[in-house]
Structures are given as C-alpha cells and as structure tokens.
Amino acid sequence: MTETTTLTYIGQPLRRREDFKFITGKGRYVDDIKIAGMLHLAILRSPHAHAVIKRVDLAAAEAAAGVRLALSGADLAGKIGPIVPNWIMPGTKVPNRPVVAVDRVRFVGECVALVVATTPALAYDAVSLIEAEYESLPAVVDEWEAIKEGAPQLHENVPNNITTVYKVDGGDYRRAAREADQIITLRLTNNRLIPTCMETRSILAKPNADGTLTVYMPSQVPHMHRRWIADTVGIPEHQLRIIAPDIGGGFGAKMHLYPEELLCPFLARALGVPIKWWESRSESHQSTHHGRAHTEDIQIAFRNDGKILGLKVETLGNVGAYLSNMASGGPTVNTINFGTGTYKIENYAAISKVVVTNTVPVDAYRGYGRPEGAYIAERAIDAVARHLKLDQVEVRRKNFIQKADFPYKPYNGPAVIYDSGDYEGCLNAAMKAFDYTARTKERDELRRTDCYRGIGVAAYTHVCGMAPSRRLARIGFDRGGWESARVGIDSSGRATIYSGSMSQGHGHATSLAQIAADVLQIPIGSIDVVQGDTRQVQAGHGTFNSRSMAVGGSSVHVCAKRIVAKAKCIAASMLEVDEKDVAYQNGSFSVPGTDIQPLSFAKVARMAYLGHALPEGTAPGLDETLFYDPPGMGSPSGVHMAYVEVDTETGIVDVLDYVAVDDAGTLINPLLAAGQIHGGVVQGIGQAIWEEVSYDRGNGQLISSSLLDYAVPRAECVPNIRSSFQMTPSPTNPIGVKGIGENGSIAAPPTIVHAVLDALSPFGITHLDMPLTPPRIWSAIQNVRAGARQ
C-alpha cells in the first residue's frame, strides 16, 4: 500500500519559528551566559610576526589586583596540546602547533601568555603588565615569497615552507596546448578575507560537581569539538558536554580548534571554577582564522571559436603560520579538483602547493575552495570571450556541460562527480530576469556619453555534503561524512527532532521541522527541534559545506520514515489487520475499503508507550535514532549576472543590479533559501570590491587589524539581490535537496569582477585583481591614460 502525503510543508515559505527570541532581545549567545564565581581569561598575543621568545616575566601580572593565575607557554608545555589538524592530506608535513607559544612566535596574534582574573577588565590590565622579550626574525607573508630560495623558514620539518603538494589531472593538457589556436596565461589573486561573524568567539567552561565539564561555545560542530577538546586536553569524551547556544554567524570560522577552546576547559579543571573568554573584534582579526589567500597561475588553451581545449592551473594556498583544521585540504582537493567549473574542459593539469607564512592561520570560509575553484574556471572563460571579442554568454554556452551529460565526471578524473544540473536553463532564466539584450544595448549607448557600465556573468557549481565516510578516509579526514537524527515521539504523538546539524542563523528549527512534518503527517507546531547540546543530541558532525539539508535533513527524513513504519506496525496490531492493508494518510492509520474506524497517530503513539497491544517481537516506545551516511554528493549550480557602473574619475564601483538564478534541487523553504543567497552574494560582493586583509610585507604586521581597516559591505553599498530558483532534484538523497549556504559567495566574486572588466573594456583593461577598490581602478585607468599620452 503506498503512502500519500497530504500535508506538504516542504516548499512552503514558512516564517521562522526561532525569530521571536531574537527580535525581542532574548537570544542567548555565549557571552550572555554568566555563572556566579566565574573568572575571566585574557591573552597576551605576539606583537611580532616571527621572533624567538627570550623571556616572559609574569611577576607583575601575578601581583596585580584580581589576578588568580598567570601562565606562559613554558608553564603549559606538555600539559595540553599540540593542536592537530582534522584533515591531513596524504604526504602532508604537519608543523607542531603548541596551544601557547613556547620558544618562538610565528604570527602577530599568536598566544604567548595568559592571565585569569576576577573581571575581564582586571584580566586585560594584568596582561598589559606581562613583560615579554623577543628577538625578532625575518618574516614572510606572501605565499610566492615564502617558497623562494632564501626565504625565512617557519618550521624545521617543513622545508621551503611547503606542507603539501597535490596534483590532479585528466586528458592530456600538453596535447591540448599543441592543438589550440591560442593560449592565454593569467595570474589570479584570491584575496585574503576575514569571515567576520557579527558575534565574535566566546567560551565558558564550567566544572560540575560530578566531575564532568560543560563548555558553552559558539560551535558549528559541537560533537566534533567535544572529541577534539577531549583528546587535546585529556578529558574523557563522555564527561565533556558541549553546549552551543544561539550562534551569531559562523561562515566556517567557528568549526576549527582554537587555543582558547582548549585553555578554558583546561583552566576550569585546574582551578575548579568556571572560566570565560570573550574575543574582542580587534583580537578576532588576529586570532580567528582568515579565508581564501590564494595565488593561481593559469593557462587556457582554446580554439578561435571559443571552445576551451585545456586548462593548466598552479595554485599556491597561503595557510598562515600553522596548519589549521582543514588547511591542507582547502587549496588542494577543495580548490583544484573544481578548477574546470561548469565547463567541459577535458584536458586538465593542476598542481597545488600549501604554503606556510608568518600570518594568521587560514581555513574554511563560506565555500572553502569552491569560490577559489569557480574563480579559476570563470576568469578563464571570461578571458577567452574577452580576448576573442565573443559574447560572454555564447562562449559559456559553447563550453557548458550539458543536461544530458549528468552524472558528469569533470576531465574524466576519478575524484569528482557532478550529480545533476541544467546550466543552460539557469543561464536562460538569468538572461531573461536581467533583460540581457536591452541592458547590452543600454550599456553600449551610454558608453558614447562617457558613462561606463558593465555586464558580468558567472556560472558555478558546487559539490556539497562531502560523503560517504569511506571516501573521506581516502583523502586524510579524521572524521566521517554522515549525520545523525533522532526522532522521539512522546506519548501524545508530538515529536522532538534531535539533529547533529547546527544552525548558526540558518533556521533549522523551521526547516528540519518542515521535513519531519511531511513524513510524520503531524502539524509543524507539534514538532520541536533540538541541536547544539552533546548531552541531548546523540551524535553529529554539524553544519558546514552546505550539508545540513542534504545530509542532516535526509537523516531526519529517513529517521521519521522509520517512526511511521513502526507506528504502522503497531496500528495494524491495534486494528487487528495485516500491516500491508494499513494506509497512513492525513495523520491517521486506516484500512481502505473497510469501515474500520481509523486510528490517529496520537493514539498509536500512546499505545507504543503503554505497550499493551504491541505485535509479537515489537519493543515498546516510538523513538528512533539514525546515522545516515549518504551514498553520494549533490551539486547545486547557478548563473549570476551583475550590472555595474564605474566612476572613472573616482574609481568607485556602483553595483546597479544583481540577478541570481540558483538550482539547489528541492527547496525545503524558499524564503530561507533566498535569504542564504542574499547573504552569500553580499559577502561575495564584499570580496570582489572591498574586503582584503592587509599585512606589512616587511615586518608582517597586520594592518587591517580592526573593523576600521577591514571593509565589510554596508547596506548603502549593495543593491537588492534578485534571487530566483530552478529545481533539478539531486538523485543522491531521498529529498532531492542540494546545498544552498555557500552558493552566493561562490558566484558573486567572478560575476562582479567580470562586470567591472566589461565596464573598463573601452580602456583596454583586461585584468584586475580583487578587491576592486577605488584606488585600484582609478590607478588602472590613470595608467592607461598615461600610456596614451606618451
């Protein structure tokens, strides 16, 4: 008997259930939690990019008002740490990373010493009294400088500052280069960024009377953090409870293992009192991971009709002073596996080198590798169109992977499969929404009046929710690819979902409940969602890699189906009929074709807990837990278009219009999906036009050290984002859903760069690096004008 679902919550733009606490000021972030008797941790950070620590004198700090404890790295050596990455690519040389530096510092911001005091202010006061003496060493901040002969060396076991070399290829690039009509070479910079969650990091560790430890922290990955902290501090994992309350944004920055996350639990156990650390914004710029920071040298071999025959890529990924959690995988697997983007480029040769420098460690930031990979593919295709003076849309069409090609293995390599997509469909929808033909005409007419407008296009694809687990093992991950869900039905038929995914603003309390409601056929108001507490939630990986709906949502879906299956079995027993004759419709169990009175889900739930009339061999209760390991990965895709105007006198870029057509398969909640696109696109526009971490190349000082010097987009800087969707369901999971969270930040940087280059094409400017700040554009125009005058 087939089940028909009559309630369809999936696809509805439901308003979020979690909004009320936030809009009334009742959200609860870690820094809002205060426990009587808690002490405060403050950290002395290195002012040098590279130095030998000669002396750390804590005496004055120890004697200061309110100070309970002061420690240097030497005091902690051998007691906790080292910090070990969670993803170590085969062949990687892993530098030793102490929790607090012992004899050498390698970036501005590295922990050197710490103070615990009765108030945050007194802790900071005391930190300023620590006397630390250094002997500075030559520093290197740029990846291409770091691999040169004679460059300062950061770690003895990392010769030439290269931790990892990774190659991927398919076809025969050299033959393609011979057969090509032309070859273009480009050097691309993927600018270093600061994720800038509005809530900085904060940790509160509380020892409990029973010997266990509770750690409140804004973690995207609570169960992974539990394991990492347990292993690194030496606490039995089952005695450690991680609570991630409301989280003020993550974007990848809150899924790694940081020194402070180890120090608070360690100190709380050592002192027997709660210990809190809160990161100021300026501190965050030098203590929370940065993103991107790549240089790519690319060669594109193509025919004069615009068909790309081959692509060669050499990536240098700057990962800062130590290997953070996933740093050996980001510039390698995550980036160059995806360098051909949405195009059929069958001859591909790519190599990536992971490089350490005297800078803040670099790790995952919204898309991790896919924005870098898409930037390679998109700048390549755009350069070909521009060089051949062909229409940018037509060149894309000519090279696109076609709908009939899926599932598609790029460059016939073994590593990547795109499961599905319809790039032409997205392109056509984007051109229509953008009014491409009329806009092109308008742009051309305005140019005659010295008004410089440009149209940018970019297509992208992504592969989300890395899985299955055995695949992760092959590339050096120390984790799996599954997600877990528990669906607990109470004796009145209401449900609680315990999910290992972790919302940081995504709205899982709404979207996961929508998924469960459709399967359970009960009102969404009867479903609660619990996340972010390792004592309540059985297990999990968390939220990152655009995986929560595809992996976490699928686990809820499958688990809820098990509930219905068991309930049906119990209902059959209650109705005294064969199970196969029972149908579940509109939330009640009936026997079609008979006049047997249907049973409500609630009645069956009650019987499950009474246990009075259960079938032989059926255990009481209606509560299922599932670990779901996906068989494959879904590939969202899309086409974005932007219309910009460049003020040639000031170099200011004004983004006039932005159209996003995204295909994320089945949409659980289109309102929330559009919200993810809006936010991701604006972060991507930020990367393209304003955001850049700046270091002094001589001494390694961090120049963009506060929000005064690091320009995130403001409301007045960005346009409305006109978002719409296509739906090509993913065949890799039972809901057909694909990732959505990272798509905007993947697509927007090349879209904007192409639009600006289009606007500047009358000046003969064919390449500029992000961010496209006014000085950079103004200088480029001035250089052209100066050249013309000579």
37 near another protein, rule: CB under 8 A: no
Residues in contact with 576: Cβ distance below 8 Å, sequence separation at least 6, in sequence order:
none
548 near another protein, rule: CB under 8 A: no
User: Which amino acid is present at 20?
Assistant: F
Out of 34, 389, 448, 789, name the contact with another protein by CB under 8 A.
34
Out of 476, 507, 665, 700, name the contact with another protein by CB under 8 A.
507
Pairing of strands 275-278, 39-45: parallel
Dist CA 513 CA 18 (whole Å): 12
Q: Minimum distance from CB of 376 to another protein (Å)? A: 25
Return the number of the residue (199 or 758) whose C-beta is nearest another protein.
199
Query: What DSSP letter does each residue of 718-774 carry, written as one string?
Result: S--EEEEEE----TTSTT-B---TTHHHHHHHHHHHHHHHHHTGGGT----PSP--H
124 near another protein, rule: CB under 8 A: no
462 near another protein, rule: CB under 8 A: no
Number of residues that bind another protein (CB under 8 A): 60
Q: Minimum distance from CB of 707 to another protein (Å)? A: 4
Sites for another protein among residues 467-496 (CB under 8 A): none
Dist CA 452 CA 341 (whole Å): 29
Out of 10, 16, 227, 324, name the contact with another protein by CB under 8 A.
16
DSSP code for 188: E
SS3 45: strand
Return the number of the residue (29 or 627) whose C-beta is nearest another protein.
29
Q: Minimum distance from CB of 32 to another protein (Å)? A: 4
- Stretches 229-237, 295-303, 401-409, 717-725: which one binds another protein (CB under 8 A)? 717-725
Return the number of the residue (336 or 672) whose C-beta is nearest another protein.
672
27 near another protein, rule: CB under 8 A: yes
Sites for another protein among residues 218-247 (CB under 8 A): 246-247
Residues in contact with 419: Cβ distance below 8 Å, sequence separation at least 6, in sequence order:
406, 407, 632, 633, 634, 635, 730, 731, 732
Out of 85, 476, 488, 505, name the contact with another protein by CB under 8 A.
505
Return the number of the residue (520 or 747) whose C-beta is nearest another protein.
747
Return the number of the residue (281 or 606) whose C-beta is nearest another protein.
281
Give how far Cα 331 sits from Cα of 294, 458, 569, 712, 749, Å.
8, 21, 51, 24, 17
Return the number of the residue (342 or 676) whose C-beta is nearest another protein.
676
Sites for another protein among residues 40-99 (CB under 8 A): 64-65
Out of 4, 6, 8, 26, name the contact with another protein by CB under 8 A.
26
- Stretches 91-99, 386-394, 499-507, 606-614: which one binds another protein (CB under 8 A)? 499-507
Q: Minimum distance from CB of 545 to another protein (Å)? A: 18
Give how far Cα 283 sits from Cα of 42, 47, 107, 110, 201, Å.
11, 12, 13, 10, 10
Sites for another protein among residues 656-715 (CB under 8 A): 671-672, 674-675, 678-683, 706-708, 712-715
Dist CA 586 CA 355 (whole Å): 58
28 near another protein, rule: CB under 8 A: yes
User: Sign (positive/negative) of CA torsion 741, 743, 749, 751?
Assistant: negative
CB 775, CB 711: distance < 8 Å: no
Residues of 562-601 as b/e, b for ≥16 C-beta within 10 angstroms? Answer: bbbebbbbbbbbbbeeeeeebbbeebbbbbeeeeeebbeb
Give how far Cα 673 sits from Cα of 79, 422, 661, Å.
45, 19, 12
Return the number of the residue (286 or 328) whose C-beta is nearest another protein.
286
Q: Minimum distance from CB of 503 to another protein (Å)? A: 9
Out of 249, 425, 729, 734, name the contact with another protein by CB under 8 A.
249
Cα-to-chain-centroid distance, residue 655: 25
Sites for another protein among residues 412-451 (CB under 8 A): none
Q: Minimum distance from CB of 283 to another protein (Å)? A: 8
Q: Minimum distance from CB of 706 to another protein (Å)? A: 5
Return the number of the residue (322 or 368) whose C-beta is nearest another protein.
368
654 near another protein, rule: CB under 8 A: no
**Which structure tokens are listed for 86?**
């969670």
CB 140, CB 88: distance < 8 Å: no
Q: Minimum distance from CB of 678 to another protein (Å)? A: 4
Return the number of the residue (564 or 673) whose C-beta is nearest another protein.
673
Return the number of the residue (198 or 473) whose C-beta is nearest another protein.
198
Out of 617, 716, 789, 790, name the contact with another protein by CB under 8 A.
716
736 near another protein, rule: CB under 8 A: no
Beta bridge partners of 725: 662
Dist CA 416 CA 408 (whole Å): 8
Q: Minimum distance from CB of 122 to another protein (Å)? A: 8
Site string for another protein, 261-300 (x = CB under 8 A): -------------------xxx------------------
Return the number of the residue (203 or 560) whose C-beta is nearest another protein.
203
Q: Minimum distance from CB of 525 to another protein (Å)? A: 16
- Stretches 79-87, 191-199, 338-346, 775-783: which one binds another protein (CB under 8 A)? 191-199
Out of 81, 85, 248, 598, name the contact with another protein by CB under 8 A.
248
199 near another protein, rule: CB under 8 A: yes
504 near another protein, rule: CB under 8 A: yes
121 near another protein, rule: CB under 8 A: yes
- Stretches 10-18, 222-230, 411-419, 528-536: which one binds another protein (CB under 8 A)? 10-18
CB 502, CB 542: distance < 8 Å: yes
Return the number of the residue (197 or 567) whose C-beta is nearest another protein.
197
Determine the Cα angle at 40 with ends 36 and 44, to 5°.
Answer: 180
Residue 412: how many other CB atoms lie within 10 Å: 12
CB 50, CB 539: distance < 8 Å: no
Out of 20, 211, 779, 787, name the contact with another protein by CB under 8 A.
20
Considering just the CA atoms, what is the radius of gyration of the chain in Å?
A: 28
Residues in contact with 25: Cβ distance below 8 Å, sequence separation at least 6, in sequence order:
none
Residue 717, class by beta-carbon neighbours within 10 Å (0-12 exposed, 13-18 middle, 19+ buried)?
A: middle
Q: Note if the bond before 222 is cis, omega within 30 degrees.
A: no
Q: Which of 286, 320, 291, 360 is nearest to 45 (CA)?
A: 286
Return the number of the residue (590 or 743) whose C-beta is nearest another protein.
743
Q: Which of 716, 720, 736 is nearest to 728 (CA)?
A: 736
Q: Minimum distance from CB of 276 to another protein (Å)? A: 12
Residues in contact with 113: Cβ distance below 8 Å, sequence separation at least 6, in sequence order:
43, 44, 56, 58, 61, 70, 71, 72, 73, 100, 127, 130, 132
Return the number of the residue (92 or 286) whose C-beta is nearest another protein.
286
Dist CA 383 CA 640 (whole Å): 17
Q: How many helices (H) does the chain have, and how many strands (E)?
A: 20, 26
User: Which amino acid is present at 170?
Assistant: G
Q: Minimum distance from CB of 155 to another protein (Å)? A: 32
Determine the Cα angle at 612 with ends 607 and 617, to 5°.
Answer: 95
Q: Minimum distance from CB of 505 to another protein (Å)? A: 3
Give the total residue count for the chain.
Answer: 790
Return the number of the residue (245 or 731) whose C-beta is nearest another protein.
245
Contact footprint for another protein (CB under 8 A)? 15-16, 18-29, 31-32, 34, 64-65, 121, 125, 196-200, 246-249, 251, 280-282, 504-507, 671-672, 674-675, 678-683, 706-708, 712-716, 718, 720-721, 744
